[in-house]
Structure 1
Amino acid sequence: MRCSVEKLCRKKVHIICLAALLGFLLVTNHILQKLESSQRRTLHDFANPEMKQKEETLPLRTKKIKDLIQKYRFDLDMVIDDSPWAIAAKWVKAREIHPSHIPELGAILNAMASYPITQASTGHKGTQLKLKLRLKHGQIVAFKPMWYKRDTILSGSPYIGRDRHNGEVAAFHLNRILEFRRAPLVVGRRINLDTEIIPVASPALLKTFFTNGSNTCFYGKCLYCLGKDDGVCADKNILEGVVALWFPLEMKLQLSKHPWARTYKKNVKALWETDDTYCDKIKGIRVFQHSPLLLDILDTAIFDYLIGNGDRHHYERFRDEPDAALLLLDNAKSFGNPNVDETSILAPIIQCCRLRKSTWEQLLIHEDGDLGAVLKGVLENEVISPVLHDPHYTAIDRRLSHVLKIIRNCIHKHGEDNVLAEN
């Protein structure tokens, strides 16, 4: 009996020892794996410092993008007590169309996209088809119809093709993100031509309506609106487009030719295309010596380059305002080809080597290549979302990188104080 007890005890001791040894081996193996992983990580970081830096900054970049999207996001469901038209009218000043912080924006855009149309007539000027609409409570908006699908790529000259209605929307919000605040309010809208336009159309507009199969169409009145071949057709009776808010009637506009305008003639170049000292000549003109106009033109060159707008042949400012801003109107010749960066748009920047310091600081906020992501996030709330085909967001970041490189070269060559101008 005593022998049996001793054998049983020895077996228990052996089991306990084996269990302890197994536990020791498992712990040791875990520690060795940790050390090996740490060593591999250290060697990886040593061999790939840029990768380590990217991994460390990725959460910060993601937070930055989210914060910027939140800052410029708009809520179409927002409800306001005051008239949306009165609020928007109060925003308009000589140097800006809207302020930086505009919590009521969503409500105003929603009113533009949904208020009943009480009158419809042909656009009063321009080369492209548009309608002049009067909404409930008297507000006037300009309607530009959809001509192209989102993924359409236009090849050719920098100003080729018809207006891109979605480009107007994207340009407006990019203007907000870059804090230019000089583009009119724009929002997408889908209109039933049979029930919303034809019953309130002017006789002149009504004459231009026709049908193509089961689709309702019209060609309106403009320089290139010559007949049915130039008309736009709805999808049956629903036509997508955008509406842009008109300025208060007392704010009259003054039209001027852009000093860096193209000739729009084949094989005929403008003076700025052949004279590298052209900017010095512009600086000698009185209007550019005693106003912020030249700096506005330089801002606009960057803005147009980012959106791919090579059609800025004229510019408009508020009349009787000596320091009035150059307004970012008619931005629909934009986002035509994400694969082409039309460097000629940057001629004012390249030739003048000058820029507002505040504009430079805004651009630097997005030097990590996040401007496209921020714009895409802001546009997710738009009525006609998705607003842009994804390659256009990539193009914006690529173009911004090019702009920063040009300005940095200017600073290296001429010094920061001679390049960056105070407001």
Structure 2
Amino acid sequence: MSTAKIKKADIGYKGTQLKARLVLEGGQMVVFKPKWYRRDEVMTGNPYSGKDRHNGEIAAFHLNRILGFNRAPLVAGRRVNLLTEVFPVATPTLNATFTSQNNNTCFYGKCYYCKPSDPACAEGDIMEGSLTLWLPAKYTLQRWKHPWARTYRSSKKARWEEDDAYCDEVKKTHPIERQRLLLDIIDTAVFDYLIGNADRHMFETFEADQDPMLLLLDNGKSFGNPYWDEGSILAPVKQCCIIRNQTWTILQEFKERGLSDAMRQVLSHDPVSPVLSELHLQALDRRLIDISEVVNACITEKGQAVLIDVLW
């Protein structure tokens, strides 16, 4: 994905964030998310503030992989020449959104928040971004509202923010009445807390799967603020007080050997390395300690029944 010739370029699929859809020489379809921020830039405001972070997509994929979840599509970094690699093979719709600012080539695409006055700009003609592998067409997805979704309104809280027994109701809802999917949601809360993603308002499963697993798509709202640990992301863990034994074992192993060290090593091989700042890497270790404390509190209260022995 980082080196194959780009054969076609078009505007991205519908959504709120800027992206482009590319077809590579091998026939693979990928989603290109452009770089918006420096590695050391800190997102302030709401925990879901800011545009998607392309480096967050890259880091999230590798974290998902080393934790053994294997529910995120492949992601790799790439630097593309917009004028020589993209513009000649782009559709007229995408080409119409190309512009120039301060001798830098830019594009603003088409999405809910996309506008000509706020394009993504390359450094000269070279734009850094992430490429996410598009799933083959035979895999159709079904979207569900995340039971611990936010209201995104300061004047109104979600039920889970006020009801500590909320998990009892979630367990009765479709399709989460299946224990596997609830445990997937717990894994996702752990994952999102580590990456700082407080924007998981929807989730996807494979449509034809009778015992669906939660897919970890769209991880761009991650690694925004290394100084802030958004505790509300762990609400599913705190309220349900269960976790896969496999997940707990893996987390304890990385707590001993250093999650930041493992991530630093795997991310060093990406074409746009360094992917994360040292502050974001250090935040992984700190947040892992927080997760351990939450799970240990559950074990103290409810015993070993907190740890569920089931397959992924």
Q: TM-score, normalised by structure 1?
A: 0.72
Distance in 1 between residues matched to 2:44 and 2:148, nearest whole Å = 22
Could you tell me which of 36, 45, 55 is aligned with 1:166? 55
Could you tell me which of 53, 59, 72 is aligned with 1:183? 72
Aligned length: 311
Distance in 2 between residues matched to 1:218 and 1:297, nearest whole Å = 36
Name the counterpart of 2:222.
Answer: 334
Displacement after TM superposition at 1:418 (Å): 4.0
- Greater RCO (CA < 8 Å, at least 6 residues apart): 2
Distance in 1 between residues matched to 2:306 and 2:35, nearest whole Å = 44
Name the counterpart of 2:255.
Answer: 367
Runs of 4+ residues over 4 Å off in structure 1: none
Task: Show the 5 A alignment for 1:14-413.
Answer: 112-225=1-114, 227-368=115-256, 370-413=258-301
Displacement after TM superposition at 1:139 (Å): 0.9
Match for 1:224: what amino acid?
A: Y
Q: Which runs of 5+ in 2 are unaligned?
A: none
Name the counterpart of 2:310.
Answer: 422
Distance in 2 between residues matched to 1:286 and 1:307, nearest whole Å = 28
Match for 2:162: what amino acid?
A: T
Distance in 2 between residues matched to 1:167 and 1:191, nearest whole Å = 18
Match for 1:261: what amino acid?
A: A
Q: Deviation per CA, 1:43-88, whole angstroms, max 9, x where unpaired?
A: xxxxxxxxxxxxxxxxxxxxxxxxxxxxxxxxxxxxxxxxxxxxxx
Distance in 2 between residues matched to 1:298 and 1:353, nearest whole Å = 9
Contact 2:64 2:70 in 1 (8 A): yes
Q: Deviation per CA, 1:277-320, whole angstroms, max 9, x where unpaired?
A: 10001012242223511100000000000000000010011111
Q: Deviation per CA, 1:244-268, whole angstroms, max 9, x where unpaired?
A: 0011110111111101000111221
Displacement after TM superposition at 1:223 (Å): 0.5
Distance in 1 between residues matched to 2:205 and 2:43, nearest whole Å = 30
Partner of 1:190, secondary structure, is strand
Match for 2:228: what amino acid?
A: V
Q: Deviation per CA, 1:108-164, whole angstroms, max 9, x where unpaired?
A: xxxx01111111000111100000000103110000000000000111111000011
Q: TM-score, normalised by structure 2?
A: 0.97
Q: Max radius of gyration: which structure?
A: 1
Contact 2:4 2:26 in 1 (8 A): no
Q: Which runs of 5+ in 1 are unaligned?
A: 1-111
Contact 1:354 1:421 in 2 (8 A): no
Identity in percent: 52
Match for 2:63: what amino acid?
A: L
Q: Which has a greater percent of strand?
A: 2
Partner of 1:211, secondary structure, is strand
